[in-house]
């Protein structure tokens, strides 16, 4: 985590790990419909190991839908998705999802370390006791998000940003090859934001691919090798420098007023 610096305005650093021969995620003409209503179409792109892609678009653009499709939770109306060379359902063991922390009940009687341990349940199964390996993975994951000292506290006593970090730790504990995050930086304080970025970078270093839906264009610029512009259909897929252009952004967001300030792009929503 230390030693890496993020160049403001520069492209994100490429992952050090050797890329695998085939991409972790392949999207090929992906089409999703709810009944007869099309939700997404024409989504194309690949994500290699150690790379991160940001899904960018307004509310209702289909970012969550695409994530659900990659998880195998919604059927495709057209095209195909390949995760680690197989179908999303078959690749589930290698995929981890990080939801937004505000969907969870803060009163739930569970500790931080128990939440992270949940990430290991697939490995542990229903009946077996958690092994030393499981406990170590849990501890390591908490270490990576910088919350090891809060392990015994009730999950709900943490701040929003801290809870988001715990959910990321839960995903990390599963040691996934593909990580999916849904708006991970929403409502998160600066310290937690940095911790999240550091942990994600660490995952990329060890060869995982990352897909994150986000509103934050600057973070997308900083943390991701590629961005995917979505608003019911794809408006671009490629490196941020090339893809996050005013014209494309205007097209994606439906032609509203736009400003560029240094490396930040301000988009006025309807």
Partner 1 sequence: MNAAYQLLIEPFRYPFMTRALMELLMLGALAGTVGVLILLRRLAFMTDALTHTVFPGVVIGYLLAGEGGIFAGALVAGMATALLLTALTRHPAVSEDAALAVLLTSFFAVGVVLVSRESGYTADLTAFLFGRILTVTSGQLVQTFAVAGAVLVVLAVLRRPLLVTTFDRIGAQAAGYRVGLLDLVTNGIVALVVVASVRAVGTMLVIALLIVPAATGRVLSDRLPVIAVAAALLGASAGWIGLAVSYDVSLHHGLRLASGATVVLVLIAVYGVALGGGAVWRQLAGRRAAHPGSVHEASVMTGDVGVR
Residues forming the site for partner 1 (CB under 8 A): 71-73, 89, 92, 96-99, 103-111, 114-115, 118, 121-122, 124, 126-127, 149-150, 153-154, 156-162, 167, 170, 180, 189, 191-192
Distance between CA atoms of residues 98 and 141, nearest Å = 14
**Of 54, 55, 45, the residue nearest 24 (C-alpha):** 45
- From the CB of 228, what's the least distance to partner 1, in Å? 19
The residue (of 152 and 269) whose beta carbon lies closer to partner 1 is: 152
Residue 233 forms beta bridges with which residues? Answer: 41
Q: What is the CB neighbour count within 10 angstroms for residue 74?
A: 19
Least distance CB 20 / partner 1 (angstroms): 23
Q: What residues contact 152, with CB distance under 8 A and at least 6 apart?
A: 111, 112, 113
Tokens of 192: 């937690």
Query: Least CB distance from residue 79 to partner 1, whole Å?
Result: 21
Task: State the Cα–Cα distance between residues 127 and 8, nearest whole angstrom.
Answer: 49
Give least dist CB 189 to partner 1, A: 5
Task: Name the DSSP class of 103.
Answer: G
Q: φ and ψ at 55, to 5 degrees?
A: -95, 120
Q: How far is the CB of 136 from partner 1 (least distance, A)?
A: 19
- State which residue, 23 or 99, has the beta carbon closest to partner 1: 99
Of the pair 66, 229, the CB lying nearest partner 1 is at 66
Tell me the backbone φ, ψ of residue 236, rounded to 5 degrees.
170, 150
If DSSP codes are grouped into helix, strand and coil, which group holds residue 230?
strand
CB of 252 to partner 1, least distance (A): 26
Residue 74 to residue 51: CA distance in whole angstroms:
24
CA–CA distance, 77 with 23 (Å, rounded to integer) = 23
Cβ–Cβ < 8 Å for 210, 53: yes
In angstroms, give the least distance from the CB of 88 to partner 1: 10
Residue number, 29 or 160, with CB nearest to partner 1: 160
How many angstroms separate the CA atoms of 144 and 147, rounded? 8
Two tokens, residue 178: 């593909």
């Amino acid at each position: 985590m230390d030693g890496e610096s993020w160049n403001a305005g520069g492209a994100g650093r490429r992952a050090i790990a050797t890329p695998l021969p085939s991409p972790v995620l392949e999207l090929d003409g992906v089409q999703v419909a709810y009944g007869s209503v099309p939700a997404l179409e024409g989504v194309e792109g690949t994500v290699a190991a150690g790379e991160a892609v940001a899904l960018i678009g307004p509310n209702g653009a289909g970012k969550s839908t695409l994530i659900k499709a990659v998880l195998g939770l919604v059927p495709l109306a057209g095209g195909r998705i390949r995760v680690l060379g197989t179908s999303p359902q078959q690749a589930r063991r290698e995929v981890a999802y990080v939801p937004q922390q505000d969907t969870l009940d803060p009163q739930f009687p569970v500790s931080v370390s128990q939440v992270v341990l949940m990430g290991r349940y697939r490995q542990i199964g229903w009946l077996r006791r958690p092994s030393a390996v499981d406990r170590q993975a849990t501890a390591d994951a908490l270490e990576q998000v910088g919350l090891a000292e809060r392990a015994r506290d009730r999950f709900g006593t943490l701040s929003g940003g801290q809870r988001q970090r715990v959910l990321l730790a839960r995903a990390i504990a599963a040691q996934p090859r593909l990580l999916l995050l849904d708006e991970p930086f929403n409502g998160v304080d600066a310290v937690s934001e940095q911790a999240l970025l550091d942990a994600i970078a660490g995952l990329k270093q060890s060869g995982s691919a990352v897909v994150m839906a986000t509103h934050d264009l600057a973070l997308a610029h900083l943390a991701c090798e590629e961005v995917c512009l979505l608003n019911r259909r794809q408006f671009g897929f490629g490196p941020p420098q090339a893809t996050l252009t005013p014209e494309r952004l205007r097209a994606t967001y439906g032609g509203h007023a736009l400003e560029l300030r240094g490396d930040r792009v301000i988009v006025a929503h309807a």
